[in-house]
Amino acid sequence: MNVIDLFAGCGGLSLGFLQAGYSINKAVEFDSAIANTYKINHPEIDVLVDDIKNIDTAGVFKLGDAEVIIGGPPCQGFSMAGARIRQGFIDDPRNYLFKHYYNVVRTVKPKIFVMENVKGMQTMQKGKIFDEIISIFSDEELNEGAPYNIFHKIVKAVDFGIPQKRERLIIIGTTIMDLDFEGIWEETKKSILLDYPDYFEPTTVRDAIGNLPVVTESGVIPNPIPQNQYQRYLACDNVKLTNHTQSHHSKKAIERMHKIDNGQNYTYLDEEINSVHSGSYGRLVWDEPAATITTRFDTPAGGRFIHPDEDRTLSPREAARIQSFPDGFVFYGTRREISRQIGNAVPPKISYFLARYVQKILEQEE
């Protein structure tokens, strides 16, 4: 099946669909640095590096280009929906990211689309934004007589055997009506367990990064021998792994980190720390899942991202492991660009599940 990935990022959502046997026709990513990582890891895919507004209005996509469209319009693009004034919502320039995602869906008319976004979208503006999005895709007139049957679910990364307390909203729309979405969800789990019996087993920080050696200046390390099922799932045949570098922290930051034990954060320091992050200067615990990996996992003040033993934040490779990226996936760019790529990505283990779920839904049509 052919797939279009909008707001592709470095390719976390694409990766799961590729692993499940789909073909990605085109991927759209506005940030050239992030798109570069996508291109190098997937040289066979046509990556369009442009604003989705330009992609939409240039007539790049046509009816029938793909059976599946995936992507997550950034939540910053959503503004107040108002009192269900649909035309006002869809035409509000602050909502252009969602608008052009919707326009591509309406143009291509895929059998199914998958939209990923922040959990908080459901409650933004007292739920008006979420209700409006569902209404737009479900409206028969707006969709030229072919409305979408909508299913939505909050997914927790820990439920997919990912060592991270990440929660995201998944919205799935399909032209197939009268589906038992929850029943198919359970069928998908059973199907994956036949291939990967440990897929959904609880996983910890130790399971994810426990076999990685010390960081290096270049980030290049010998490929370590996997020690558990999670590491085996992510393992590759490369002789070397990359991206295992550490941030260069100030002497003061290192002194602060040294005072913090596992599970503690800045509140245990004997000084005043002004931080908007409740987990600021937080140290990870080996035998628990990590906090949500964000774009600031390389910064002590950014959250609970200090290594369980060492006085440093997570390396990009460690963060990628916690996000469930395969070891052979290489991130390119500056330190900040790489942090954004990893922190903003959909964990590939979730996207693989969604790809298998989409397969199960489309089987209902046959």
When the pLDDT of each residue in the chain is averaged and rounded to a whole number, the result is 92
Count Cβ atoms within 10 A of the Cβ of residue 66 and give its class: 0-12 exposed, 13-18 middle, 19 or more buried.
buried
Answer whether residue 82 shows pLDDT above 80: no
In angstroms, rounded to a whole number, what is the distance separating the alpha carbons of residues 347 and 322?
9
- pTM of the entire predicted model: 0.94
pLDDT single digits (tens) 18-76: 999 999 999 999 999 999 999 999 999 999 999 998 999 898 999 999 999 999 887 65
CB-based contact 230:203 (threshold 8 Å): yes
Count Cβ atoms within 10 A of the Cβ of residue 223 and give its class: 0-12 exposed, 13-18 middle, 19 or more buried.
middle
Q: Percentage of the chain surpassing pLDDT 90? A: 80
* pLDDT band at residue 78 under the 50/70/90 scheme: low
Per-residue pLDDT at 366: 65
Q: What is residue 108's DSSP assignment?
A: H
Question: Can you tell me the mean pLDDT for 254-261?
Answer: 96
Per-residue pLDDT at 279: 84
**Strands, DSSP E only, in the chain?**
2-6, 23-28, 46-48, 68-71, 112-118, 149-156, 167-174, 221-222, 240-241
Per-residue pLDDT at 275: 66
pLDDT single digits (tens) 187-200: 999 999 999 999 99
Annotated catalytic residue 236: no
Question: Can you tell me the mean pLDDT for 343-356?
Answer: 97
Catalytic residue among 33, 40, 60, 75: 75
pLDDT single digits (tens) 85-106: 455 566 666 667 888 899 999 9
Helix (H) or strand (E) holding 354: helix 348-363
Per-residue pLDDT at 97: 82
In angstroms, rounded to a whole number, what is the distance separating the alpha carbons of residues 215 and 221?
8
Of 130 and 44, which is predicted with more confidence? 44
